[in-house]
Amino acid sequence: MFRSVVILSRFWLAALATVMIVAVAGGQAAAQDPALEYFRIGTGSAAGTYFPVGELLAGVISLPPGAAKCGPGGHCGVAGLIAVAQDSTGSVANVNGVASGRYDSALAQADVIHGAFFGTDPFTEDVSYPDIRVIANLYTEALHLVVRKDAGITSVADLKGKRVSVDTAQSGTWRDALLILEAFGIGRDDAEIVEVNFEQASDSLLAGDLDAYFLMTGFPASGVVDLAAKGAVNVVPITGAVIDRLRKRELYFRATTIPADAYEGIGEVATIGVGAQWIVRADHNEQRVYEITRALWHPTALEILKKGHPRARDIRVETALQGVTTPIHAGALRYYLEAGILE
């Protein structure tokens, strides 16, 4: 069953409590502040990367009434805004959620966003979302091939005859994993393909019921960190001539490297990845998206992001538009033009 987790930091909970006290006391501060507005950010599994990064994004763009304004000891978010991170099953669910209004914004893979906008895999011409818009490219996600240490798997080709999870059906990982397997000539008749989320896959792998699973995520992913700390897994490279040909066809894939310090006992791993991007609907208020974009790229926000999560360190205005193949929201576009990011 889909569950939704809403995260508000203890700071913002305290700030909201202060606002309520002031309002009850008949003070003027609450009346002078703009109306409180909630802004929902669809993320991913709590054991992945989207969720903690989404929490950080929510924190840096929020500025509840009564909180200290931008400056020494203050916060540089959007006045009156409380952003909340909500967990989900990943990129495809997030695109669907933004399109349907379940979320105000979400994180999603660049290839999934492209498919949603243009009606290509994993979407179709009949099920497409031309109203999806991008706020920013955030960082590069890496495709992990996590294998049980005793499974005898050292390359993608070794997955023939093995039990392999490709994540839940229609997820971003699912799409990419099937593309990789297809490129290596591995179909459902050549391996036991399982479609479960990576928490279930991790449990099955530890129990010996699964040999490997794919996961497209930023590193380090907490679930993989736990497995590596137990000495139970390896992360296999996804490289070679087959991958080079695939990258020429699927232009979203880029070469990337999982560093040696990402997972205990696992060295540097060469693989492929895609951009993680932040999306909204085209009809979301232009001024509000402008303010959110401005808050995201404020130096104070960037310092908070750098300290909050390893992947958030890679969120830089210099790469804000890297790999974006779909339209930028008008509010974000206004910011990039004003800031000289676009000319």
Do 112 and 14 share a structural domain? yes
What is the residue range of 214's domain? 142-274
Q: Given 274, 294, 324, which residue is the final one in a domain?
A: 274
Do 179 and 115 share a structural domain? no
49 domain-assigned: yes
343 domain-assigned: no
Do 288 and 249 share a structural domain? no
Do 97 and 19 share a structural domain? yes
Q: What is the pLDDT of residue 19?
A: 39
1 domain-assigned: no
Do 134 and 204 share a structural domain? no
Do 161 and 146 share a structural domain? yes
Q: Given 274, 294, 311, which residue is the final one in a domain?
A: 274
pLDDT, tens digit, 9 for 90 and up, residues 66-121: 887 777 666 789 999 999 999 998 899 999 999 999 999 999 999 999 999 999 88
Do 133 and 18 share a structural domain? yes
Taking phi first (over 0 means left), then psi (-120 to 50 degrees means alpha), and beta for anything else, what does residue 71 get? left
Ordered DSSP codes for 144-166: EEEEEGGG---SGGGGTTSEEE-
Do 244 and 172 share a structural domain? yes
CB 139 within 8 A of CB 176: no
258 domain-assigned: yes
323 domain-assigned: yes
321 domain-assigned: yes
Do 218 and 287 share a structural domain? no
118 domain-assigned: yes
Do 158 and 95 share a structural domain? no
Q: How far apart are CA 269 and CA 255, in angstroms?
A: 11
Q: Report strand pairing: 254-258 vs 269-281.
A: antiparallel
Q: What is the mean pLDDT of the chain?
A: 88
| Local confidence pLDDT in tens for the 343 residues of the chain | 333 444 454 444 444 443 333 333 344 444 444 578 999 999 988 878 899 999 999 999 999 988 877 776 667 899 999 999 999 988 999 999 999 999 999 999 999 999 999 998 888 888 899 999 999 999 999 999 999 999 999 999 999 999 999 998 878 899 899 999 999 999 999 999 999 988 999 999 999 999 999 999 888 888 899 999 999 999 999 999 999 999 998 888 999 999 999 999 999 999 999 999 999 999 999 999 999 999 999 999 999 999 999 889 999 999 999 989 899 999 999 999 999 999 8
CATH code for the domain in which residue 185 is found: 3.40.190.10
264 domain-assigned: yes
> Please, which residues have CB within 8 angstroms of residue 228's CB and are 6 or more apart in sequence?
235, 263, 264, 265, 266
Do 88 and 36 share a structural domain? yes
Do 167 and 263 share a structural domain? yes
Q: Given 255, 274, 293, which residue is the final one in a domain?
A: 274
Task: Count how many domains the chain has.
Answer: 2
Q: What is the pLDDT of residue 23?
A: 38
